Structure 1
Amino acid sequence: MKYMTTYDMMESARNTNEWLGATARAMASYPAFALSMNPALPLMAAWGEVTERTFGRMVVKPDWGIRSIPGAQGQDHLVDAVPVVERPFGDLVQFQVRRRAPMARKVMLVAPMSGHYATLLRSTVASLLPDCDVYVTDWHNARDIPVSAGKFDVEDYTLYLVDFLRHLGPDTHVIAVCQPVPLTLAAVAYLAGEEPAAQPRSMTLIGGPVDPDAAATEVTDFGRRVTMGQLEQLAIQRVGFKYKGAGRLVYPGLLQLQSFISMNAERHSKAFSEQIMRAARGESSDHDAHNRFYDEYLAVMDMTAEFYLSTVERIFKNREIARNCFTVAGKAVDFGAITNVAVKVVEGANDDISAPGQCLAALDLLTNLPDEKKASHLEPGAGHYGIFAGKSWRLNIRPLVLNFIDANSAAPAKSRSPRVVAG
């Protein structure tokens, strides 16, 4: 499947469906047809409206949409998303709050590179901004990156995180969400071995696959069933001529979206059917609950082929993180080198993507970290999304994370030497 034609055919199908939706909406909304009083016409216009929006959102990067936050004295502070470190495959973005002094808490939020944009964490950022200076890893869509920019795999991802942490300094608190959890752990361990003074104060690891074998899910089962050759043949395509990254090998976002939807096909089908009926009755709006969710959910990005394949092979199949045998730029990463960074693990009891136990395995890897610097929390009834952006995050997890940050904000008195563990 590694042909531009395949990629372009998929994009053509998306474009055609968007055009069909726009055409149906325009035709059924023609004023003269209103005289017929035909109930099928509003239904056709509603179908067109929902279809056009659905397929149009698939190739649009959502805006952060965080304009301002309330200040302590009752006034509003405007917010600007400004890149402070720029790289070909991703930037470190600061949410600068105008007319506000630097906050005591400085947080680097590590966003997933798993098919969605970093804006998936919009509500997480918004909830942290009143109390923290917030920085986010904003990964770029691989289809827009020229081939001349080179490769980008799990080691490059890890080194990007290392560079971002060096830039922010040691008074930083890291919050990693889902996919980047094991690589964030690796980045801090790399710094612990190479540049201990640049390590952050704390890490909060939320629902990530440190040890995929700790608890089976549909994602881990798929990783076991398929061979790397099959995966490369089925999933990898070349970016078509429409984009700047023409010719780059990628795992297309549209293909990933198909996988996302197929996991809960009945629920998504019902949601779109109900939205069409609401639109036909004139009850839908531009920012209703359906559109707020799906405008983000449907906005997908391509991942470089080497990043996708190396993630499956090294994190899921070979379990290099879980077995403490991960290497970066030819150097072994030893998680036992982390001795001063406080680590908190957060999992959702109903998480069907990174099931409970997968992220908790991180604490077992930190053999030289004192127990008082380790913490964990299992949120009852919470699914994958809820532990970083839903009700569970807002009501329970966010306060716990902020308290953990406060408890571990002081600089360590001195660097500890790793204890020797008898083999």
Structure 2
Amino acid sequence: MKYMATYDLMETARNTNEWLGATARAMASYPAFALSTNPLVNLTAAWGEVTERTFGRMVAKPDWGIRSIVGPDGQDHLVDIKQAVEKPFGDLIQFFVRRRAPMARKMLVVTPMSGHYATLLRPTVASLLPDADVYVTDWHNARDIPVSAGKFDVEDYVLYLVDFLRHLGPDTHVIAVCQPVPLTLAATAYLAAEDPDAQPRSLTLMGGPVDPDAAATEVTDFGRRVTMGQLEQWAIQRVGFKYKGAGRLVYPGLLQLAGFMSMNAERHSKAFSDQVMRVARGEASDHDAHNRFYDEYLAVMDMTAEFYLSTVERVFKNREIARNVFTVAGKKVDMGAITKVAVKIVEGEKDDISAPGQCLAALKLLTNLPEDKKAQHLEPGAGHYGIFAGKSWRLNIRPLVLNFIDANSGKPAKSPVKLAASN
């Protein structure tokens, strides 16, 4: 499938459906049809509106939408997004809060490169901003990166994190969510050996596949069933002529989205039809629950083929990080080199993406880290999304993470953050 034709065929199908939706909405919205009592006219306009938005949002990067926060003085403080480090495949961005002195806590939130944009962690970032200076890894859509920019695989991802951490300095506390957890651990071990003064003070690793074999999920089962040859043949395509990255081999976001949707096809189909009825009745709004969720869920990005394939082969199949044999730029990355970075593991009891045990395996690799520098938390009843953005994060996990950071900040302890009792 390594052809531009297959990539462009998917984009043509998406574009056609967006056009059909726009046409239906426009045609059924003519004033002359207002005289008709036929409900089909209203339903056609509603179907067109929902369809146009559904297929249009698939190629649009969502906005962070964090305009301001309330400071301890009770005043609103505007938030600006600044580029701290710019690189071809991803930037380090800062959420700069105007009229606020530098905070005692400085955090780097490492976001996944797994088909969705970094904005998927918008709730996490927004909840941390009042209490910390927050930096985020903002990965770029591979379709927009010219072939001349070169490759980007798991080793490059690690080296990007190394550069970001060197820029931020040693007083940084890192929170890694899901897919980048093992690579963040590798980046810290790399720094421990090559540049110890640039190591962060703490790592909070949340729901990531450090050892995929520690607990089976559908994701790990798929990784075992499919061969690398099959995966390369089925999943990899070349970016079409429409984008700057024309000719680049990628794992297309639209292909991954089709897989996501097929796993819960009945649920998504019902959500679509229910939204059509709400629009027809005048009960929907631009930022209602349906649109808030699907504006993010349907916005997908392409990954470079080498990153996708090397992640599957090296992290999942060969378990190089779990076996402590991972290499970067020809150098072995020894997890035992981490001796002073505090590490906290957070897992969700009902996580069906990275099941409990997969992330906890990181602590076994830290053979030279004192036990008092290790911590773990299993959140009862929490799924994958809940541990970093849902109710569990808001009420329990966030305060625990902030307390862990303060306990390992090397500065006078703050008053502990209290756990909330209710929503």
> TM-score normalised to the size of structure 1?
0.96
Query: What CA deviation, in whole Å up to 9, does each residue of 1:196-232 have, x standing for no partner?
Result: 1111000000100000011111111111110000000
Residue in 2 that maps onto 1:421: none
Over aligned residues, Cα RMSD in angstroms? 0.7
C-alpha displacement at 1:56, in angstroms?
0.2
Alpha-carbon shift at residue 277 of structure 1 (Å)? 1.1
State the match for 1:386 in structure 2.
386
Q: Which digits, 9 at most, give the CA deviation of each residue in 1:363-386, with x for residues without a partner?
A: 111111111111111111111111
- Cα distance, 1:75 vs. partner? 1.0
Which range is displaced more, 264-273 or 373-382? Answer: 264-273
Q: State the alpha-carbon separation in 1 of the partners of residues 341 and 282 from structure 2.
A: 54
Q: How does 1:207-246 map to 2 (within 5 A)?
A: 207-246=207-246
CA distance in 1, matches of 2:109, 2:71: 22
What is the CA distance between 1:74 and its match in structure 2? 1.3
Q: Are residues 1:344 and 2:344 paired?
A: yes
Which residue of structure 1 aligns with residue 107 of structure 2?
107
Distance, in Å, in 2 between the alignment partners of 1:354 and 1:263 is 17
What CA distance in whole angstroms lies between the structure 2 residues aligned with 1:347 and 1:362?
Answer: 12
Q: How far did 1:134 drift?
A: 0.1
Map of 1:202 onto structure 2: 202
Aligned partner letter, 1:156: D
In the aligned structure 2, how far is the partner of 1:352 from the partner of 1:268?
Answer: 19
1:78-125 Cα shifts (integer Å, max 9, x gaps): 100111100000000000011100000000000000000001111111
The corresponding residue for 2:316 is 316
In structure 1, what is the Cα distance between the partners aligned to 2:353 and 2:318? 19
Which residue does 2:266 correspond to in 1?
Answer: 266
1:128 and 2:106 aligned: no
Deviation at 1:351, TM superposition (A): 0.8
**Moved >6 Å (runs of 4+):** none
Q: Which residue in the other structure is 1:329 paired with?
A: 329
Counterpart of 1:88 in structure 2 is: 88
Query: 1:63: how far off?
Result: 0.7
What CA deviation, in whole Å up to 9, does each residue of 1:316-366 have, x standing for no partner?
000001000000000000001101000001111111111111101111111
* Residue type at the aligned position of 2:119: T
Mapping 1:128-207, distance limit 5 Å: 128-207=128-207
The one-letter amino acid paired with 2:365 is L
Cα separation, 1, equivalents of 2:262 and 2:107: 35
More displaced, 258-267 or 335-344? 258-267
Matched, 1:74 2:79: no
Aligned equivalents of 2:266 and 2:105: distance in 1? 42
How far apart in 2 are the matches of 1:256 and 1:225?
Answer: 18
Question: How far is 1:29 from its partner?
Answer: 1.5
Q: What is the rounded CA distance, in whole Å, between the counterparts of 1:267 and 1:404 in structure 2?
A: 38
Q: Deviations over 1:25-76 (max 9, x none)?
A: 1111211112120011111111111110000000000111111111111111
Q: Distance in 2 between matches of 1:277 and 1:399?
A: 40
The normalised TM-score by structure 2 is 0.96
How far apart, CA to CA, are the structure 2 residues paired with 1:246 and 1:218? 33
3-state SS of 2:119 partner: helix
Q: Are 1:25 and 2:25 counterparts?
A: yes
Displacement of 1:9 in angstroms is 0.6
> Paired residue for 2:35?
35
- SS in structure 1 at match of 2:130: coil
Which string of whole-angstrom CA distances, capped at 9 and with x for unpartnered residues, describes residues 243-274 of structure 1?
00000000000001111112222221221121
Q: % of aligned pairs identical?
A: 87
Q: State the one-letter code of the partner of 1:112.
A: P
- Provide the rounded CA distance (Å) in 2 between the counterparts of 1:304 and 1:210: 21
Paired residue total:
411
Q: Partners in 2 of 1:365 and 1:264 — Cα distance?
A: 36
Could you tell me which residue of structure 1 aligns to residue 57 of structure 2?
57
After TM superposition, give the deviation of residue 153 of structure 1 in Å: 0.1
Hey, what's the Cα distance between the residues in 2 that align with 1:277 and 1:355?
Answer: 37
